[in-house]
């Protein structure tokens, strides 16, 4: 009798488990697609469990074969988004500027229609949050930090972090940025001199170290040497996590070599950040970003919306530090690399920027006041961010049903806006949309295209990047100092190949020839 009861219980549990999986893997995605299809929004039919991933891979393979068949030219082409994400380009043509597709069980609503983009950018409701995969599939890198959290958790984190990047705070960081950049500049000059007046440098590696030093010193009270291992391990973690497919249930739990490496790195980074935080807390009470995060963790420790899930104060600190470490140095370093690459490829613009810098900084001093007068440099940075935005997608998750531009977006849908594609649409930017033309920003962002909302390298709406002031200031400092002393030209062996590794970066790095001016 007892055996029958146990068997019945096990059988019942198995049936419930199967029904649950069927609901999650089949019925829920099907209901979301059905609600969108009834409103005229279509997309490619998905497969169970994998969604449209197999078709995405097939389209990518066909696109690569076509590219290889064409004659390769040494010129740098900027129309990379349709080559890197050919499935979006193809389905946009087939189904229109708003269509649906899925990666695994993640149901995506791809949006490139500017009016819908505008409405999303104006939405301040907490109903539009971050998709769960950011805090689950990408948990080792992002956790529940400001980049990946939603609702009151995100709101609390933004209140803590955002004021630390206001313009007055960033202005106070300029001298620190100058000191760090000057140190790297002197090192580059010594290499150029020792190599006989011209050196071949892998600049992206140096710029990544520089940006890491700046964010570490300005926000965490330590220099790059102290936090070097954290940055290196975060970089390795980023590379590993960019190799997997999002949305396939259970994939991150498999005992693969990659997953084991990810878990090991996550534990190491966790311990290292807590060690830095502990030392900082003991050493000083200075109100820098790290200190504010430490206080924010204590003030929020009794809030059900965060800690009821089992997340500790330590995890709050680690997750937000990881977010700032990652976003605060990786994206800026990549943008600075793209800028120097483009200035090397377009020497006439390099000459214009250099002339402006030398004119404004006649005494050789770079400070917060002179940065405002660098209009040409600003135009170059803006055009670089238009063609090569480090964040490739804006993603919002409907935590409840929400109506946008007459479309009822059902709860559970993830809205995906491909930044790089919208910022190169000819109907918005003109026939030269894929050309490097900083002059389009001569009258600012509002004069650059038909709709200023089509330019959003730092995101849109309430969740716009809190560090955009820091990033723009840091880019101006780095580029103005480097260009005032050095000249850059393309390495003939450079192969232009943007690649998506959670951010858009040069696959083979950026190697340039560097000379003294």
pLDDT single digits (tens) 170-200: 999 999 999 999 999 999 999 999 999 999 9
Q: Which residue has the higher pLDDT, 6 or 172?
A: 172
Cα Rg of the chain, angstroms: 24
Give the global pTM. Answer: 0.92
Contacts of 108 (CB under 8 A, 6+ apart): 100, 101, 102, 413, 414, 415, 416
Instruction: Tell me the residue ranges of DSSP E strands in 363-413.
Output: 393-398, 402-404, 407-409
**DSSP code at position 44:** P
Q: Is pLDDT at 72 greater than 60 in this prediction? A: no
What is the strand order of the sheet 198-202 is part of?
A: 198-202, 511-516, 486-490
Q: How far apart are CA 483 and CA 426, in angstroms?
A: 32
Question: Using N-to-C axis directions, what is the helix angle for 313-345 and 468-485, rounded to 10°?
Answer: 40
| Phi, psi for 198 (deg, rounded to 5) | -145, 130
Q: 243-252, 362-371, 462-471 — which one is most confidently predicted on average?
A: 462-471
Q: Where is average pLDDT lowest: 157-166, 300-309, 396-405?
A: 300-309
Structural domains for the chain: 28-44+75-516 (1.10.630.10)
Q: Is pLDDT at 263 greater than 70 in this prediction? A: yes
Q: How far apart are CA 264 and CA 65, in angstroms?
A: 37
pLDDT single digits (tens) 382-432: 999 999 999 999 999 999 999 999 999 999 999 999 999 999 999 999 999
| 3-class secondary structure per residue, 67-108 | HHHCCCCCCCCCCCHHHHCHHHHHHHHHHCCEEEEEECCEEE
The DSSP secondary structure of 416-470, one letter per residue, reads EEEHHHHTT-HHHH-TTTTS--GGGGTT-STTTSS-GGG--TT--GGGS-TTHHH
**Is residue 417 within 8 Å of residue 111, measured between CB atoms?**
yes
H-state helical runs in 123-256 = 132-135, 139-142, 151-161, 167-171, 174-194, 203-220, 224-241
CA nearest neighbour of 56 among 248, 197, 199, 249: 248
Q: Is pLDDT at 70 greater than 80 in this prediction? A: no
Q: Is pLDDT at 101 greater than 70 in this prediction? A: yes
pLDDT of residue 309: 47
Q: Is pLDDT at 108 greater than 50 in this prediction? A: yes
Q: Is pLDDT at 109 greater than 90 in this prediction? A: yes
pLDDT of residue 308: 47
**DSSP code at position 162:** G
Q: Is pLDDT at 300 greater than 70 in this prediction? A: no
| CA distances, 420 to each of 88, 341, 391 (Å) | 11, 18, 8
């Amino acid at each position: 009798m007892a055996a029958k009861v146990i068997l019945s219980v096990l059988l019942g549990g198995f049936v419930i488990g199967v029904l649950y999986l069927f609901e999650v893997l089949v019925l829920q995605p099907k209901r979301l697609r059905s609600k969108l299809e009834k409103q005229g929004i279509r997309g490619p039919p998905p497969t169970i469990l994998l969604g449209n991933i197999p078709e995405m891979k097939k389209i990518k393979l066909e696109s690569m074969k076509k590219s290889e068949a064409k004659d390769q030219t040494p010129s740098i082409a900027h129309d990379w988004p349709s080559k890197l994400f050919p499935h979006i380009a193809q389905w946009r043509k087939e189904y229109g500027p708003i269509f649906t597709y899925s990666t695994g069980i993640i149901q995506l609503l791809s949006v490139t229609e500017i009016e819908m983009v505008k409405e999303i950018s104006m939405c301040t409701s907490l109903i539009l949050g971050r998709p769960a995969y950011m805090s689950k599939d990408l948990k080792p890198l992002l956790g529940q930090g400001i980049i990946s959290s939603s609702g009151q958790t995100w709101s609390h984190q933004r209140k803590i972090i955002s004021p630390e990047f206001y313009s007055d705070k960033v202005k106070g960081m300029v001298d620190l940025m100058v000191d760090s950049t000057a140190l790297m500049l002197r090192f580059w000059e010594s290499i150029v001199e020792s190599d006989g007046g011209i050196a071949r440098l892998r600049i992206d590696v140096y710029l990544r170290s520089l940006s890491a030093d700046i964010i570490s010193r300005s926000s965490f009270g330590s220099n790059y040497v102290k936090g070097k291992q954290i940055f290196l391990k975060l970089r390795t973690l980023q590379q590993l996590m960019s190799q997997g497919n999002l949305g396939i249930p259970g994939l991150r739990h498999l005992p693969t070599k990659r997953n084991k490496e990810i878990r090991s790195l996550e534990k190491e980074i966790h311990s290292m950040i807590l060690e830095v935080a502990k030392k900082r807390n003991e050493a000083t009470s200075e109100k820098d970003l790290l200190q504010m995060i430490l206080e924010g963790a204590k003030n929020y420790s009794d809030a059900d919306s965060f800690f009821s899930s089992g997340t500790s104060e330590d995890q709050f600190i680690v997750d937000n530090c990881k977010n700032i470490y990652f976003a605060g140095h990786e994206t800026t370093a990549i943008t600075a690399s793209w800028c120097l690459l483009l200035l090397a490829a377009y020497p006439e613009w390099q000459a214009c920027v250099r002339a402006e810098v030398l004119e404004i900084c006649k005494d050789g001093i770079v400070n917060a006041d002179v940065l405002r007068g660098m209009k040409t440099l600003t135009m170059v940075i803006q055009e670089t961010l238009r063609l090569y935005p480090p964040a490739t997608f804006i993603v919002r998750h409907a935590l409840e049903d929400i109506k946008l531009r007459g479309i009822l977006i059902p709860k559970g849908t993830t809205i995906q806006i491909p930044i790089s594609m919208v910022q190169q649409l000819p109907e918005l930017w003109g026939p030269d949309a894929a050309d490097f033309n900083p002059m389009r920003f001569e009258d600012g962002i509002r004069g650059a295209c038909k709709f200023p909302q089509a330019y959003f390298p730092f995101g849109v709406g309430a969740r716009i990047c809190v560090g955009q002031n820091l990033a723009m200031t840091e880019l101006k400092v780095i580029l103005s100092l480097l260009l005032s002393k050095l000249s850059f030209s393309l390495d003939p062996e450079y192969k232009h190949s943007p690649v998506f590794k959670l951010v858009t970066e040069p696959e083979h790095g950026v190697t340039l020839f560097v000379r003294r001016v």
